[in-house]
Chains A and B, each alone.
Chain A
Amino acid sequence: GQNIDQPTEMTATEGAIVQINCTYQTSGFNGLFWYQQHAGEAPTFLSYNVLDGLEEKGRFSSFLSRSKGYSYLLLKELQMKDSASYLCAVRDSNYQLIWGAGTKLIIKP
């Protein structure tokens, strides 16, 4: 079956750096997405990786290793507003999006 694993919850300190990992086993691979979802709101798109390596976008970076079925989202200079759930999703060979359960990130002052 298809599966995406990410930690349920993480805690970090304001101003620090945090890395949220995601591992996947899917039927084929057509890209990996990271979304941010604040409580009570819809997800918003953060990043997309289809080739191995690091994609940087401001304070957020996302890394992909297809051979290891692994990705991480790196958040730098954490701000209180970064407290949210972070969702990892993989597009499989049928172009279906397989979703992880999300990682709740708690930022402490």
Chain B
Amino acid sequence: GAVVSQHPSWVICKSGTSVKIECRSLDFQATTMFWYRQFPKQSLMLMATSNEGSKATYEQGVEKDKFLINHASLTLSTLTVTSAHPEDSSFYICSASDRGTGNSPLHFGNGTRLTVT
């Protein structure tokens, strides 16, 4: 089945630094990947849709200059949290679907737990 790999699984950084999270589709090509954020005991929140070879589409209220998304290839999308602050501490999850198999489900990476001190 389709596998999505996300790295790192957890990261602790100091306030003001930047953190890059990678999302890879291992056995399929993903023209579109999705980035979610989830705070404790809350539902998934779509942050942005990452499109290969073009600019990402951000959801309302998500700062595109703070959450930089790059989707340079059909198997890799990256999310960079710039100038991180403690309120950015959250669980970040990427996902992708294998469009080559029709109405395929969204497969998720294992998530990245970010803690900003």
* Chain A interface residues (CB < 8 Å from chain B): 30-31, 33, 40-45, 48, 50, 87, 89, 91, 97, 99-102
Contacts and interface: CB of A to CB of B under 8 A. Distances in A.
A107 to B, nearest CB: 18
Given A99-B43, A100-B43, A102-B43, A45 B105 contact: yes
A44 B110 CA distance: 9
B93 interface: yes
23 contacts: A31-B103, A33-B105, A40-B91, A40-B113, A41-B111, A42-B93, A42-B108, A42-B109, A42-B110, A43-B108, A44-B108, A45-B105, A45-B106, A45-B107, A48-B105, A50-B103, A87-B43, A87-B44, A89-B106, A97-B46, A99-B44, A99-B46, A100-B43
Interface residues of B, number: 16
B108 A30 contact: no
B39 to A, nearest CB: 12
A50 B46 CA distance: 23
Given A42-B108, A44-B108, A97-B106, 17 more contacts: A33-B105, A33-B106, A40-B113, A41-B110, A41-B111, A42-B6, A42-B109, A42-B111, A43-B44, A45-B105, A45-B106, A48-B103, A87-B43, A97-B46, A99-B46, A100-B43, A101-B43
Contacts of A42: 6, 93, 108-111
B106 to A, nearest CB: 6
Contacts of A87: 43-44
Contacts of B6: 42
